[in-house]
Amino acid sequence: MPSYAFLNERLVDPERVRRKMNVLGFPYTQEDISALAGKSEMDAIVAYMQKLGNDIPWRQAAAQAAAPQDLVNPFHGDPEAAAQGASLYARHCAACHGAELGGGIGPALMPGWDDADLFTVIYEGIPEGGMPGFSSLGVERVWLMVTFLQEQQ
């Protein structure tokens, strides 16, 4: 497989993207275009890949999966659970939110969330913001990620 590291080095040209969007008649906002500043072509490819298939029926069903009602973290303060959550975060979240939680394609993960709210966001996602839900991981794994993130605050 060829190396694609060069895509991390090449920055997206927001003005060129705007012109292409106009030519193709794709909808966009100035905010969308401004958000491209400083992003690499790899960032753009990852964002595009995340958008693909959002209209697949099983993805829609997963996105609509409501979080459980009893939102009490069974792993709160458990260092072993936090370590397992770190592994899950690295596999499922770091590509967008950064290995150090500092953001990238997605925003930096800021402290101040309570366990229940953080669980709900991870489980259900933020479809209008481009974040998929991770209900497919199951309740326990989402709680493990919550435990890891809370330990980082």
- Summarised one tens digit per residue, pLDDT across range 53-104 is 555 555 555 555 666 778 999 999 999 999 999 999 999 999 889 999 998 8
Q: Which domains are assigned to the chain?
A: 6-52 (no CATH), 61-152 (1.10.760.10)
| CB 33, CB 14: distance < 8 Å | yes
Residue 149's alpha-carbon distances to 44, 110, 114, 118, in angstroms, are: 26, 10, 11, 9
Least confident of 15-19, 28-32, 60-64, 115-119: 60-64
> Percentage of the chain surpassing pLDDT 70?
87
Burial of 5 (0-12, 13-18, 19+ CB in 10 A): exposed
Closest CA to 137 of 127, 126, 124, 148: 124
What number of other Cβ atoms are within 10 A of residue 1's Cβ?
3
**Residues 101-118: pLDDT tens digits?**
998 888 999 889 999 999
More confident residue, 76 or 23: 76
* Prediction pTM value: 0.61
pLDDT at 1: 53
pLDDT at 59: 54
Average pLDDT over the chain reads 85
Sign of the Cα pseudo-torsion (145, 97, 59, 133, in order): positive
Does residue 142 register a pLDDT over 60? yes
Q: How far is CA 60 from the centre of its chain?
A: 17
